[in-house]
Structure 1
């Protein structure tokens, strides 16, 4: 069975181990020892714990538990020789490193274990020697074991707190970036809805009437189609300029353009009647809202206007000849917008659709917390009509609602 190879010790650890070994050899060469009473008289015996402890210093980060266990055995063996101060100092660093770099479980146990060992040595020597020297030996044992362990625990806790703070900062930065990306996406969606709602109606009319002018060889029809095309192109260009002005920091406008409201529905339907006359479409408005009621919130007014505008645009593109009916109703809590148009095959030219209109309407209603549905429904005479229905809250909502 092949044993796994230990990672290579860092260069700093190798330098610490070498410095400890050289320092110990210098002390040994001058005969500077720390033990007066010794069991092993041979002078060379002091070099064995010194060499072992130096090797454990090299493993202080790559194998901290192994370094602590072997280092403990080496410091115990050093007490039976002349003793070397470098061995003791390297042992304190091994204890410190075992707490700082060791596994979390070992880092928690080592300070308690060294504390109990220190107390045990002190009490045992007091019972055996029965003099104050035992207290001094206990303090020294605590200084080389318990104190480095406590210092390592404090350093490790500070490092973990710093890592946690750095992680929280990174998470906060990530959340901020996500919020920024979501805000950019939401703003792009809003701009897309506004652009579609403001321009699609004019472009649809231009597409329908240009197709009619090209397909019908009639001077009067062509002249009428070109007139409608010019009116819608001029109106669409004006709305495009207003939108570009809103997007720029300095558009040159003295005042921003006012957002459309439901008061402008008559003008919107008048334009739709002009554009849809050649397709056999008629447009009606039924507004059952009570006069003098509470004004609607501005976002609700804008959303309702855009829903009617987009529904009329879709009717110009796809509706069969007949009547397009716009219905408005309001109660204490909601505004109901309903637009119905003939559903079926349509003769003559028609403009292509992308489906973005329904998506935009649904997004507008969802942002206000309302209800939206669109699709064919049976009419009273047994035919089908296309209905767009939106229920918008008529009360201003707080962010917490």
Structure 2
């Protein structure tokens, strides 16, 4: 199998603050070094891109000495916390920006979807933007015309296809943009976190399409997402980034496990790991058993339960439900907690809100390790915000005999957890 992407000693440095070094003499020094093919002297003082600490230099390395190969037909999940360098890497691979040092060799045509509405003109209609965006991505007019009906059908926005896209919601934007990129006759498909904007039905549809182009058509897929379940379902390989460096490169399952164990365990970046799909919601604090520590050990002596407290603010009245999905180390859904899903309990109050939930597991659960993914949703409609691996739980009780399997209920998990909420 041939190599589709080869990355060697790739680095990308950014200047913080105002452009330039601050003095004409230093700017000339950098220019003269570049003319002679020498290393930029200003980059010697660059620092690792750790956004949680205040540095001494105005130059940060968004990526530093990245090396990896991607084989044709691989589906590769690129994961890491916010600021790890994932989007910068994809922009370099898509040739949106150039690397500071190192090289990237790509074999084949690339279709990329990096931001909502990339390549769209707000004054043009959806139909006109399909032709415009397709041309930007390298499609010929005849090719676009041949696939036009298929693109519109996949996007699900046929009713609005003759409406200027400035009147589209962000979800409609990304539907149309992904439909164009996915139907381009390319060898490599690159997708950033934009799918989080879409609803659950469209996300499932997109993942299915990416799986088809990878496994069925032999295309190479690079997928960045904080939805680790989606990453592991789609991808066979995984690359874990941390502070601009590759900390793991191997199987997707092992990459996700390394991320869960090492990449998200510090309290400092807990709130930063929340991904928002709505500007009307802001999570200000989350506590587990009155602590910000996101590791809990539970056993039969403390009734296998814990309390979660959430402080948030709503800018407008809107239905709000909290969902907790508990997954084992193989990303199988073990349990599901959602007051709105169970009995229609939702919050709809504008302003500062404090919620408290007690989550209790059955005593007959086997010894198990789980990660909790936390979602703030409009019940069964839309995800406003999410935090993957919000809490790690180690249950040390004995439970039932090994091999017992709980029955699935309504397809959402092996166990429905009791609802106990106070506000």
TM class by shorter chain equals under 0.3
Q: Which has the larger radius of gyration?
A: 1
Relative to its length, the structure with more strand (as a share) is 2
Relative to its length, the structure with more helix (as a share) is 1
